[in-house]
Amino acid sequence: MTQREVLIDWLEDITQWTTKLDMTFKYNVNEFNAKRHFTNWMGKQLPGSTYLYSIEQDPNQDKVAPGQGLNQSCHIHAISDTKWDILRAKRGIMRTDIWESWKKGYGRNRIEPVKNITEATGYALKKVLNYSEAREDTKSHVRKTDVDWALVFGKGKHAARIEKEARQKTYPKV
Protein backbone atom coordinates (compact mmCIF):
# COMPACT_ATOMS: atom_id res chain seq x y z
CA MET A 1 0.00 0.00 0.00
CA THR A 2 1.18 3.51 -0.75
CA GLN A 3 1.18 6.18 1.95
CA ARG A 4 -1.80 7.82 0.24
CA GLU A 5 -3.81 4.57 0.32
CA VAL A 6 -3.02 4.10 4.01
CA LEU A 7 -4.23 7.65 4.71
CA ILE A 8 -7.43 7.06 2.71
CA ASP A 9 -8.17 3.85 4.63
CA TRP A 10 -7.48 5.61 7.92
CA LEU A 11 -9.83 8.48 7.08
CA GLU A 12 -12.62 6.25 5.80
CA ASP A 13 -12.46 4.05 8.90
CA ILE A 14 -12.78 6.88 11.42
CA THR A 15 -16.37 7.93 10.77
CA GLN A 16 -18.97 8.67 8.09
CA TRP A 17 -17.86 12.11 6.89
CA THR A 18 -20.86 14.21 5.87
CA THR A 19 -19.69 17.81 5.60
CA LYS A 20 -16.91 19.91 4.06
CA LEU A 21 -16.11 23.24 5.71
CA ASP A 22 -14.02 26.09 4.28
CA MET A 23 -13.74 28.94 6.78
CA THR A 24 -12.11 32.33 6.25
CA PHE A 25 -11.66 35.36 8.47
CA LYS A 26 -12.70 38.93 7.74
CA TYR A 27 -9.55 40.15 9.46
CA ASN A 28 -5.90 39.16 9.48
CA VAL A 29 -5.44 36.19 11.81
CA ASN A 30 -2.40 34.06 12.61
CA GLU A 31 -2.47 30.26 12.90
CA PHE A 32 -2.77 30.27 16.70
CA ASN A 33 -5.82 32.53 16.74
CA ALA A 34 -7.33 30.69 13.75
CA LYS A 35 -7.07 27.40 15.67
CA ARG A 36 -8.52 28.91 18.84
CA HIS A 37 -11.42 30.59 17.04
CA PHE A 38 -12.29 27.52 14.97
CA THR A 39 -12.07 24.90 17.72
CA ASN A 40 -14.03 27.09 20.15
CA TRP A 41 -16.68 27.77 17.51
CA MET A 42 -17.00 24.06 16.62
CA GLY A 43 -17.26 23.19 20.33
CA LYS A 44 -20.15 25.63 20.74
CA GLN A 45 -21.96 25.23 17.42
CA LEU A 46 -21.42 21.52 16.64
CA PRO A 47 -20.26 19.89 19.90
CA GLY A 48 -21.24 16.34 18.87
CA SER A 49 -19.33 16.45 15.58
CA THR A 50 -15.99 14.76 15.05
CA TYR A 51 -13.87 16.78 12.65
CA LEU A 52 -10.53 16.85 10.92
CA TYR A 53 -9.19 20.32 10.14
CA SER A 54 -6.16 22.09 8.80
CA ILE A 55 -5.12 25.69 9.13
CA GLU A 56 -3.64 26.98 5.90
CA GLN A 57 -1.61 30.16 5.67
CA ASP A 58 -2.25 32.42 2.69
CA PRO A 59 -0.13 30.93 -0.12
CA ASN A 60 0.41 34.39 -1.67
CA GLN A 61 2.87 35.61 0.98
CA ASP A 62 5.17 36.96 -1.74
CA LYS A 63 2.46 39.38 -2.93
CA VAL A 64 2.35 41.37 0.31
CA ALA A 65 3.41 44.96 -0.41
CA PRO A 66 6.75 46.13 1.02
CA GLY A 67 6.43 47.65 4.48
CA GLN A 68 3.24 45.74 5.31
CA GLY A 69 5.08 42.92 7.02
CA LEU A 70 4.21 39.26 6.76
CA ASN A 71 0.59 38.55 5.92
CA GLN A 72 -0.58 36.27 8.72
CA SER A 73 -3.95 35.64 7.13
CA CYS A 74 -5.02 32.03 7.59
CA HIS A 75 -8.08 30.05 6.62
CA ILE A 76 -9.40 26.62 7.56
CA HIS A 77 -10.31 23.50 5.63
CA ALA A 78 -12.20 20.75 7.47
CA ILE A 79 -14.45 17.73 7.18
CA SER A 80 -16.92 16.65 9.84
CA ASP A 81 -19.41 13.90 10.59
CA THR A 82 -22.19 16.33 11.51
CA LYS A 83 -25.61 14.67 11.65
CA TRP A 84 -27.74 17.42 10.06
CA ASP A 85 -30.97 15.42 10.18
CA ILE A 86 -30.63 14.98 13.96
CA LEU A 87 -29.73 18.66 14.49
CA ARG A 88 -32.77 19.72 12.46
CA ALA A 89 -35.17 17.30 14.18
CA LYS A 90 -34.02 17.67 17.79
CA ARG A 91 -32.66 21.21 17.96
CA GLY A 92 -34.24 22.93 14.97
CA ILE A 93 -30.79 23.84 13.60
CA MET A 94 -30.14 23.91 9.88
CA ARG A 95 -26.87 24.16 7.98
CA THR A 96 -27.71 27.76 7.01
CA ASP A 97 -27.93 28.66 10.73
CA ILE A 98 -24.41 27.35 11.31
CA TRP A 99 -23.18 29.11 8.16
CA GLU A 100 -24.67 32.40 9.38
CA SER A 101 -23.10 31.98 12.81
CA TRP A 102 -19.57 31.80 11.35
CA LYS A 103 -20.25 34.59 8.82
CA LYS A 104 -21.49 36.94 11.51
CA GLY A 105 -18.57 36.32 13.84
CA TYR A 106 -15.64 35.64 11.57
CA GLY A 107 -16.25 35.99 7.84
CA ARG A 108 -16.99 34.12 4.64
CA ASN A 109 -17.38 30.37 4.69
CA ARG A 110 -18.71 27.38 2.85
CA ILE A 111 -20.39 24.50 4.67
CA GLU A 112 -21.64 21.87 2.28
CA PRO A 113 -22.56 18.19 2.27
CA VAL A 114 -20.18 15.69 0.75
CA LYS A 115 -21.60 13.53 -1.98
CA ASN A 116 -19.78 10.36 -0.92
CA ILE A 117 -17.00 9.10 1.32
CA THR A 118 -14.46 9.11 -1.53
CA GLU A 119 -15.11 12.81 -2.13
CA ALA A 120 -14.67 13.55 1.57
CA THR A 121 -11.44 11.60 1.93
CA GLY A 122 -10.07 13.03 -1.30
CA TYR A 123 -10.83 16.54 -0.07
CA ALA A 124 -9.27 15.75 3.29
CA LEU A 125 -6.07 14.46 1.71
CA LYS A 126 -5.75 17.34 -0.71
CA LYS A 127 -6.87 20.25 1.47
CA VAL A 128 -6.93 19.13 5.08
CA LEU A 129 -3.77 17.04 5.13
CA ASN A 130 -2.15 18.79 2.12
CA TYR A 131 -1.30 15.42 0.64
CA SER A 132 -1.78 14.83 -3.06
CA GLU A 133 -0.50 12.17 -5.41
CA ALA A 134 2.16 14.69 -6.45
CA ARG A 135 3.53 14.56 -2.92
CA GLU A 136 4.56 10.94 -3.48
CA ASP A 137 6.60 11.98 -6.52
CA THR A 138 10.06 12.80 -5.21
CA LYS A 139 10.66 15.20 -8.13
CA SER A 140 7.56 17.24 -7.32
CA HIS A 141 7.82 20.56 -5.54
CA VAL A 142 4.45 20.68 -3.80
CA ARG A 143 4.02 23.99 -2.01
CA LYS A 144 3.17 23.27 1.61
CA THR A 145 1.25 26.10 3.25
CA ASP A 146 -0.57 24.29 6.04
CA VAL A 147 0.69 25.19 9.49
CA ASP A 148 -1.35 22.95 11.78
CA TRP A 149 -3.94 20.19 11.64
CA ALA A 150 -5.80 17.98 14.09
CA LEU A 151 -8.47 15.34 14.42
CA VAL A 152 -10.95 16.33 17.13
CA PHE A 153 -13.54 13.90 18.45
CA GLY A 154 -16.86 15.46 19.41
CA LYS A 155 -18.73 15.13 22.68
CA GLY A 156 -21.44 12.59 23.38
CA LYS A 157 -22.02 8.86 23.06
CA HIS A 158 -21.68 8.70 19.28
CA ALA A 159 -18.32 10.50 19.26
CA ALA A 160 -17.05 8.48 22.23
CA ARG A 161 -17.83 5.25 20.35
CA ILE A 162 -16.04 6.52 17.22
CA GLU A 163 -12.99 7.53 19.23
CA LYS A 164 -12.85 4.18 21.03
CA GLU A 165 -13.09 2.27 17.75
CA ALA A 166 -10.44 4.46 16.10
CA ARG A 167 -8.00 3.88 18.97
CA GLN A 168 -8.46 0.09 18.77
CA LYS A 169 -7.64 -0.18 15.07
CA THR A 170 -4.20 -0.91 13.73
CA TYR A 171 -3.02 0.21 10.32
CA PRO A 172 -0.29 -1.15 8.07
CA LYS A 173 3.07 0.55 8.09
CA VAL A 174 4.33 1.94 4.79
* Average pLDDT per consecutive 10 residues, the chain (174 residues; last block may be shorter): 78 90 88 93 95 81 53 82 92 94 95 86 75 54 61 91 85 61
How much is the pLDDT for 118?
Answer: 81
Give the separation between CA 53 and CA 80, rounded to whole angstroms.
Answer: 9
Give the separation between CA 149 and CA 55, rounded to whole angstroms.
Answer: 6
How much is the pLDDT for 61?
Answer: 56
- H-helix or E-strand containing 157? helix 157-168
Domains parsed from the chain with CATH numbers: 3-168 (3.40.1310)
Give the separation between CA 40 and CA 34, rounded to whole angstroms.
Answer: 10
Q: What is the pTM of this model?
A: 0.81
Give the separation between CA 57 and CA 143, rounded to whole angstroms.
Answer: 11
Task: State phi, psi for 124 to the nearest 5 degrees.
Answer: -60, -45
How much is the pLDDT for 84?
Answer: 93
**146-152 vs 51-57, strand pairing mode:** antiparallel
Neighbours of 15 (CB within 10 A): 26
Q: How many residues does this entry show for the chain?
A: 174
How much is the pLDDT for 142?
Answer: 47
How much is the pLDDT for 155?
Answer: 93
Instruction: Give the dihedral sign, CA 153/31/111/61.
Output: negative
